[in-house]
Structure 1
Amino acid sequence: MKVALLSDCYPPRTGGIESQVSDLATELHRAGHAVEVFTATPGARGGHGGAVEVVDGIRVHRMALRLPGGLPVNPLAPPEVRERLRQGGFDAAHVHLGVVSPFAWDMARVTTDLGLPTALTFHCVLDRAAPALRPMLRAWTRRGAVLSAVSGFAAEGVRRAAPGEPVAVLPNGVDPQAWPVGQARPAARPVTVVTATRLAPRKRVVALLRVISAAVERLGPGALTLEVYGDGPLRPLLERRIDALGLRDVVTLRGRVPRSDLALAYREADAYLSPTRLEAFGIAALEARTAGLPVIARADSGVREVVTDGLSGLLASDDDGLVDALVRLAADATLRTRLAHHNVTTPPVQTWDRVVGLARAEYRRAGA
């Protein structure tokens, strides 16, 4: 099967959609499928304007403009992409959508206009945007496009945007070999908590500091440390907030690190904390859970799809509940050991072999 993956964002940009689309391309290629990627993200060496790069055997069409910061936007791309798809002999198109993803929305129009079997996957929670998207989704599904989302939580919003249309769940994938489990850590102080996130408002990183501050106040000095991996525009604000809350000895901003370094950090940690709401999936939480870490997260997010409360982690209904869960986990070594043992001995279901199978099922459904 020859598949076109179309996405605003793709490496060398970093982020959830970027890594998942790239990994999906790699895994489809490894499974014997021909894969080409169309993206509005420039290449590592500035490739743009339709330049084609071959990355790990995958042809990547860099439909990018020269914009400040490599912004992945190109309203001029549709005619050229249309022609390349028409001539490319593709069996299916897979468009990866967010609420704000102008290139992907354009690509959905292009692929459905061509009559190319099209799978549309939402990597976002539509929430209040759902009603505004109904006319577009109605037009595309009438042309045969099929809908999916990366979690059941995200699929709820897609169903509100496309009443009566079946919406499949096509989760993000994880490679357990990339996140090897470590040895069970002895009961020791301080308990090391980690998180990996973009330092941006949507990720609620300021709320993360409030949760940590409240937990430290209840647990006492020396009971807890937090290692934050990732970078973003809120880093200066977070540094000021860390000082204002008196958390300089508790919270360390580690910055962005390679995936291999993050995996090593997980092997030395005791738990993973995610403060996000309206998160469509929570790939970072899945990776931490795969590495054996108990995960503390909010139940009103897609993280609930990868964490079972009381079995692989603790879920909370609000931020106060996150504080309670963190205090409970930090104070109870037996609980930490039990949750970690489950995660170490029970691989997640969102492995790439299963995800590739589900993706192929979506391509067949689109072509039916």
Structure 2
Amino acid sequence: MKVALISDCYLPRLGGIEVQVHDLARHLRAAGHEVTAFTATREPGQKRNECEFIDGVPVHRLAIPMPRGLPINPLAPPTLRRLLVAGQYDVAHVHLGVVAPFANDAVRVTDQIGLPTAVTWHSMQSWMTTPIKLLGYVGRWARQGVALSAVSGPAALPIMDLAGPRHPVSILPNGIDVSQWQPGERPVRATGDPVRVVSAMRLAGRKRPLELLDIVAEARRRAPEVDLRLEVLGEGPLRPRLEAAVAAKGARSWFSAPGRRTRDEVREVYRTSDLYIAPAELEAFGIAALEARTTGLPVVAPRRSGVSEFVADGVNGVLCGDDAAMVEALVRLGRDEPLRERMTETNRTQLPKESWPSVVDMVIAEYERARDQQRHRHTG
């Protein structure tokens, strides 16, 4: 199948959507499909429209210089239309975050040229649901035969409401290379060793790093006999506020935030940790939590986040209704080493269903659904 992957954001920007879309391109190619990516993300110093190859994938950058490198180009649709028509693609797969002007324009273009289209949401819409409903484009896409999907059940719920009851919304989870996150040999614990809690996130408001610090501080207060330690991997604009909060709480003895780490370094941190915590309530999927779960770590997360897709409450982690429940979960798991070990063993022996071969199969089925709906639109 000849596939056009379309996303506002793409490498070299680093984020959940950027990495997932490129990984999807690589794995579709490995499965024998022909893939081209289209993005409004600009390479430093590039001219407006350029094509490069990343891991064998052609990437068309329909970009213009914007402040802070924002991936916005209102001039892109005519060029995108020309490239899509010339490419004779079988399907377009459009990837959306909370705000995605390039991707939204792309769906209008694919409709105009009659190209079967699948659209996947990678973010929780939250406050955007009302303005999206007023604009009406999700319902319009559904009526036009676009195959709608989201990366998790929680992320799909608002899309179902926006699309209407006659238009199904599929679940297309993010994929993971299970072999890269295989459980390794764990260090032997001694009595009195710290209970090491880890989280990987962008230090930004939606990810809730400040609230996470409060949660762990309260758990330490509630269970002073447990030496809970917290390590947060990642970088972002809230670092100055986080460091100030750490100083104000006197938390330097039990908190560390070493910044962004390579995949190998993250894997090593997970190998020597005891728990993973994902505090973001607006987490559409939670790929970092899935990676941690695959290495064996029990996961603590909000019940209404996308992490609930691969964490079973009380089996391989704890799903919580609010921050107070997350405190309770840390206290309980900190005190109960046998419970932690049972959850760890479950994660180490039961591989997640979100492996890339399985995800590629789901994606191809979604492409076939998009093609069927396009045919029915013109024959029905």
* Structure 2 length-normalised TM: 0.94
Equivalent residue, structure 2, for 1:183: 185
Q: Which range moves more in the overlay, 138-147 or 81-90?
A: 138-147
Report whether the alignment pairs 1:279 with 2:283.
yes
Gaps of 5+ in 2: 373-380
Q: Which residue of 2 aligns with 1:15?
A: 15
Letter matched to residue 168 of structure 1? S
Aligned-residue identity in percent: 50
- d(CA) in 1 for partners of 2:354 and 2:100? 25
2:238 to 234, 237, 254: 234
Structure 1 residue 186: deviation in Å? 3.5
The answer to whether the 8 A contact 2:51-2:60 is kept is yes
Shift of 1:144: 1.7
Question: 2:50: which partner in 1?
Answer: 51
Question: Does 2:34 align with 1:34?
Answer: yes
Shift of 1:138: 2.4
In the alignment, the residues of structure 1 paired with residue 144 and residue 46 of structure 2 have an alpha-carbon distance, to the nearest angstrom, of: 33
After TM superposition, give the deviation of residue 227 of structure 1 in Å. 1.1
Q: What's the CA shift for 1:12?
A: 1.1
Whether contact under 8 Å (2:226, 2:334) holds in the other structure is no
Q: Secondary structure at the match of 1:124?
A: coil
Q: How does 1:118-133 map to 2 (within 5 A)?
A: 118-133=117-132
Counterpart in 2 of 1:70? 69
CA deviation profile, 1:117-144 (whole Å, cap 9, x unmatched): 0000011122343343342122222322
Displacement after TM superposition at 1:212 (Å): 1.0
Q: Give me the whole-angstrom Cα distance separating, in 1, the residues matched to 2:47 and 2:203.
A: 27
Secondary structure in structure 2 of the residue aligned to 1:42:
coil
Among 345, 348, 353, which residue is 1:344 paired with?
348
Are the aligned partners of 1:131 and 1:160 in contact in 2 as well (CA < 8 Å)? no
Deviation (angstroms), 1:106: 1.2
Task: Tell me which moved more, 158-167 or 45-54.
Answer: 45-54
| Counterparts of 2:362 and 2:60, CA distance in 1 | 25
2:101 matches 1:97? no
Q: Work out the CA distance in 1 between the residues paired with 2:88 and 2:198.
A: 46
- Find the residue that maps to 1:360 and give its secondary structure: helix
Aligned partner of 1:289 in structure 2 is 293
Distance 1:77 1:46 in 2: 18
In the alignment, the residues of structure 2 paired with residue 47 and residue 363 of structure 1 have an alpha-carbon distance, to the nearest angstrom, of 32
Query: Residue 299 in 1 paired to residue 291 in 2?
Result: no
| Equivalent pair of 1:211/1:319 in contact (CA under 8 Å) | yes
Query: What is the distance in 1 between the residues matched to 2:98 and 2:6?
Result: 15
**Matched-pair contact (CA < 8 Å) for 1:295–1:307:** yes
Greater alpha carbon shift after TM alignment, 280-289 vs 181-190:
181-190
Q: 2:250 aligns with which of 217, 231, 246?
A: 246
Following superposition, the deviation at residue 99 of structure 1 comes to 2.1
Answer whether contact 1:180 1:263 (CA < 8 A) is retained: no
For residues 91 and 145 of structure 1, the distance between their equivalents in structure 2, rounded to whole angstroms, comes to 14
Q: Distance in 1 between the 2:70 and 2:76 partners?
A: 14
RMSD of aligned Cα (Å): 1.4
Residue 347 of structure 2 aligns with an amino acid whose one-letter code is N
- The aligned residue for residue 168 of structure 1 is 170
**Does residue 159 of structure 1 match 2:160?**
yes
1-structure distance, mates of 2:366, 2:316: 29
* Structure 1 unaligned regions, length at least 5: none
Residue 131 of structure 1 contacts residue 161 of structure 1 at CA under 8 Å; is this kept in 2? no
C-alpha displacement of 1:148 = 0.4
Contact (CA 8 Å) 1:295, 1:314: kept in 2 or not?
A: yes
- C-alpha separation between the residues in 1 aligned to 2:338 and 2:179? 27
Counterpart position of 2:267: 263
Amino acid at match of 2:147: V
User: Is the Cα–Cα contact under 8 Å of residues 48 and 65 in structure 1 kept in the other structure?
Assistant: yes
SS in 2 for 1:4: strand
Tell me how far apart the structure 2 counterparts of residues 46 and 282 of structure 1 sit (CA, whole Å): 33
Aligned partners of 2:138 and 2:159 also within 8 Å: no
Amino acid aligned to 2:370:
A
Pairing of 1:129-144 with structure 2 (within 5 A): 129-134=128-133, 135-144=136-145
